[in-house]
């Protein structure tokens, strides 16, 4: 199976490329630069928004796994809105060119403020530019599917835990702060409960979704259970042996963050158990 991965040099892309390679896929990796991508992948650097007939340009892949996205952790960035037409035009061009299997990374932030378990039928009301743009892209692609015959999978990501400073998540920032020798880290109250999933597990789930076509539509890549933010972060600090303490209450909780939200993992369980 030949899989094109966009955004392959990003925080998530690097791990997903490795997961796909471990499954025996031929991986074509594209991004502005590809310095951190596994050498076993075929590297094709460039700006995907400037390519005419991307399906032919990228050697007619069996699957496109679209991870490319600017400012993923900066929820208020205007780039989410500004880039949206380009994402849609690129993906539409692939489908019009002959692509039969499209997997796109979404986000639980499409849902907005919600209490409880999220499934594919949960109403969406995003409360940030990031969530609005992701939700609009998904809806546009769902409309496109009415006119073209292709497998469509929308991978809804939750809270990824990884011990690398390359990224903008709370865990990346704590890793960076610890490596700089900081003794304290400004934090929220930590009372909110989220669905946390370890980086390698998440990347393997995303890759597993893309290499099958039996379970489609919106698919949560998640743990399926909530955990208090303070508990998960304290565990993360302990697991990695960091000598840093949380400064609780230094930042207010974001008003659009739910008090307790997690993913329904029934579809990803079906995928992972069918291997």
With contact defined as beta carbons under 8 Å apart, do 36 and 165 qualify? no
Contact status, residue 52 vs residue 38, Cβ threshold 8 Å: no
Question: Quick one: which of 133, 126, 108, 127 has its CA closest to 118?
Answer: 108
Q: 75, 131 in Cβ contact below 8 A? A: yes
Q: Among 11, 57, 88, 130, which one carries the catalytic annotation?
A: 130
Length of the chain: 275
3-state secondary structure of 2: strand
The verdict on whether 130 is a catalytic residue reads yes
Pairing of strands 2-6, 245-247: unpaired
CB 11 within 8 A of CB 37: no
Please list the alpha-helical segments (H only) found in the chain: 11-22, 54-57, 79-97, 129-144, 170-179, 199-210, 229-239, 266-273
Rg of the chain (C-alpha set): 18
192 touches 256 (CB < 8 A): no
Cβ of 75: how many Cβ atoms within 10 Å?
Answer: 18
Count of Cβ atoms closer than 10 Å to residue 12 Cβ: 22
Answer yes or no: are the C-beta atoms of 244 and 183 closer than 8 Å: yes
**Separation between Cα atoms, residue 184 and residue 245, nearest integer Å:** 5
Catalytic residues: 130
């Amino acid at each position: 199976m030949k899989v094109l991965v966009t955004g392959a040099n990003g925080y998530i892309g690097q791990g997903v490329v490795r997961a796909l390679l471990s499954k025996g896929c031929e991986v074509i990796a594209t991004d502005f630069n590809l310095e951190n991508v596994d050498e076993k992948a075929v590297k094709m650097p460039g700006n995907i928004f400037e390519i005419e007939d991307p399906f032919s340009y990228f050697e007619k892949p069996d699957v496109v796994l679209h991870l490319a996205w600017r400012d993923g952790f900066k929820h208020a960035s205007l780039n989410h809105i500004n880039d949206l037409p380009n994402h849609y035009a690129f993906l539409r061009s692939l489908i019009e060119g002959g692509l039969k299997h499209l997997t796109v990374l979404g986000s639980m932030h499409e849902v907005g403020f919600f209490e409880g378990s999220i499934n594919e039928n949960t109403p969406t009301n995003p409360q940030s530019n990031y969530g609005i743009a992701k939700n609009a892209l998904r809806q546009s692609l769902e409309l496109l599917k009415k006119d073209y015959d292709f497998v469509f999978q929308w991978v809804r990501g939750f809270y990824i835990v990884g011990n690398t400073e390359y990224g903008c998540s709370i865990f990346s920032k704590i890793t960076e702060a610890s490596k700089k020798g900081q003794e304290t880290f400004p934090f929220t109250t930590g009372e909110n409960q989220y669905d946390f999933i370890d980086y390698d597990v998440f990347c393997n789930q995303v890759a597993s979704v893309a290499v099958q076509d039996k379970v489609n539509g919106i698919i949560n890549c998640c743990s399926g259970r909530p955990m208090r933010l303070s508990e998960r972060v304290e565990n993360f600090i302990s697991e990695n042996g960091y000598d840093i303490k949380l400064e609780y209450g230094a930042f207010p909780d974001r008003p659009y963050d739910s008090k307790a939200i997690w993913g329904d993992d029934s579809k990803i369980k079906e995928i992972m158990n069918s291997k």
